[in-house]
Amino acid sequence: MSAEHGSHAEAFLAAAFPEQELGFSRGEYLRRHRELRSAMVASGIDLLYLTSPEAICWATGYQAEWYHGQASTRWPAYSGVAIHADYDYWLHFETEDEAVLARITSASEIIHLGGDGQDLLDTVIRELRVAGWLRPGVVVGFELASYRPNRLQSEHMQAAFESCDARVVDATTPVRAARRVKSPQELAHVRTAQRIADIGMAAARDAIAPGVSELDVYAEIVYAMARAGGENPGITMPVASGVKSACVHGLASRRKIMPGDIVNVDVSGVYHRYHANMARTFSAGEPHPEVRDYIERSFGALDIVRESVAPGAPVKDLIARLQDYYESQGLWENRWWVGGYELGIAFPPDWVGEFVYDETSPEDAVFLENEVLNYEANFYLPKHAGLTMGINTLIVGAEGAEFLQSTPAEFCVLDG
């Protein structure tokens, strides 16, 4: 192509404005923008530069498969979204390679493009100064608890902002707090994610049998959920059998399931990046009677959670009631973990949200209406059988906890 008409890339990018694939209405993103600006004002932050995949997606809808998170140092992770407390729009910064993806997946109306590395950071600084957002005395918030960008890149980025006489502070807390309570649209997506998780668990149940590998079961889970519209979860989903069932975070392997094995399966259904988490314990054949009885008793506290989790309810009250129950059943001293954490938007390498509740929670920790949590009750088993996992996702409703799963909360013994 002649220089007069430019390159193929220039011609394509000038014309490529495809149909958008937004997870939410534009009004939802504008609501979030207003909420985040209010949090910025309350925290004394003038300018926010979002870099975590979760925050960028929550604020704009943008999502990708690669975020330069652990890539070559030649490709630093400087892309992000700038929000100013005084303006009702945001500035989105991306590499030229992701221009079309940003147009497809984000609600961003102003997208500044740059090259890789230092060029993109130079673009960020230049455009923020042109907009009048980056000037002496401005307080700039970074997500310092995010892995993206890494420490080396974050320090480089901070130095670039501070060279403009700005003051950089940590904005992790207000940014994550803004995501904790879910809107009606978000809750609808979580419910869909749970339906996908139920499909995945059913696929696991049908696949588990002696002689089948953990990876075989994993493959059936992923296939079933993908066919149902599910996306890849923030954590690789474990299938753990035999002694390995005590490895809650072990990866599925080529290990063959043996007759009598305990098999733990932990899945998350994902819809528009919103997660619903669920785990179940299976047995490939009839287990020892003590093992069966122990596992069945571990599922008996869900009604306590339903009754105790409500808006404003103290976490410590729930944990005290759970401890009383599990002690009465002879389980408490053998706990791996009893508690839960916030769920919502997530990208690899994690689906665990900021809010966590368990026996170590602060005295003043309470539950909030319309937050989404999982509840885990995991215990070591007698007879050297491994560990049992019981995990379910719930919404904190006005009247209490609503568990979302249709998969029965029970131990499933399969033909050996």
Are residues 41 and 155 located together in one domain of the fold?
yes
Question: Is 24 a member of any domain?
Answer: yes
How far, in Å, CA of 277 to CA of 391, rounded? 7
- Indicate if the pLDDT at residue 1 is higher than 50: no
- Indicate if the pLDDT at residue 4 is higher than 60: no
Question: Is 3 a member of any domain?
Answer: no
CATH assignment at residue 330 = 3.90.230.10
pLDDT digits (tens, 9 = 90+) for 204-215: 999 999 999 999
Note the pLDDT of residue 291: 96
End-to-end CA distance of the chain: 66
Residue after which a domain boundary falls, among 154, 179, 204: 179
Are residues 142 and 193 located together in one domain of the fold?
no
Are residues 193 and 97 located together in one domain of the fold?
no
Are residues 190 and 101 located together in one domain of the fold?
no
Tokens coding 88: 């009702």
Q: What is the dihedral of CA 229, 201, 249, 65, to 10 degrees?
A: -10
Q: Nearest-CA neighbor of 121 among 91, 147, 151, 153?
A: 153
Are residues 271 and 162 located together in one domain of the fold?
no
Question: Is 204 a member of any domain?
Answer: yes
Question: Is 112 a member of any domain?
Answer: yes
87 CB burial (10 A radius; 0-12, 13-18, 19+): middle
Largest separation between any pair of C-alpha atoms in the chain: 81
Are residues 372 and 264 located together in one domain of the fold?
yes
CATH assignment at residue 95 = 3.40.350.10
Note the pLDDT of residue 2: 45
Are residues 200 and 283 located together in one domain of the fold?
yes
How far, in Å, CA of 319 to CA of 278, rounded? 20
Note the pLDDT of residue 10: 82
Question: Is 1 a member of any domain?
Answer: no
- Indicate if the pLDDT at residue 117 is higher than 90: no
Phi, psi of 362, rounded to the nearest 5 degrees: -60, 155
Percent of the chain's residues with pLDDT above 90: 94
Residue after which a domain boundary falls, among 179, 204, 225: 179
Q: Where are the alpha helices (DSSP H) in 44-83?
A: 53-60
3-state DSSP assignment of residue 95:
strand
Note the pLDDT of residue 416: 67
Are residues 212 and 112 located together in one domain of the fold?
no
Are residues 166 and 221 located together in one domain of the fold?
no
Are residues 355 and 226 located together in one domain of the fold?
yes
408 CB burial (10 A radius; 0-12, 13-18, 19+): exposed
Residue after which a domain boundary falls, among 135, 150, 179: 179
Please, what is the average pLDDT of the chain? Answer: 96
Question: Is 245 a member of any domain?
Answer: yes
pLDDT digits (tens, 9 = 90+) for 60-83: 999 999 999 999 999 999 999 999
Note the pLDDT of residue 5: 62
How far, in Å, CA of 33 to CA of 211, rounded? 52
Are residues 287 and 357 located together in one domain of the fold?
yes
Question: Is 2 a member of any domain?
Answer: no
**Domain encompassing residue 214:** 181-414
Whole-prediction pTM: 0.95
Residue 383 backbone class (left: φ over 0; alpha: ψ -120 to 50; beta: rest): left
Question: Is 104 a member of any domain?
Answer: yes
Are residues 171 and 193 located together in one domain of the fold?
no
Counted residue by residue, the chain has a size of: 416
Reported as a pLDDT band with limits 50, 70 and 90, residue 415 is confident
Peptide bond into 349 cis (omega under 30): yes
**In Å, how far are 69, 136, 320, 359 from 363, measured between CA atoms?**
36, 41, 12, 10
Query: Token pair 């420490």 is at which residue?
Result: 151
Number of domains in the chain: 2
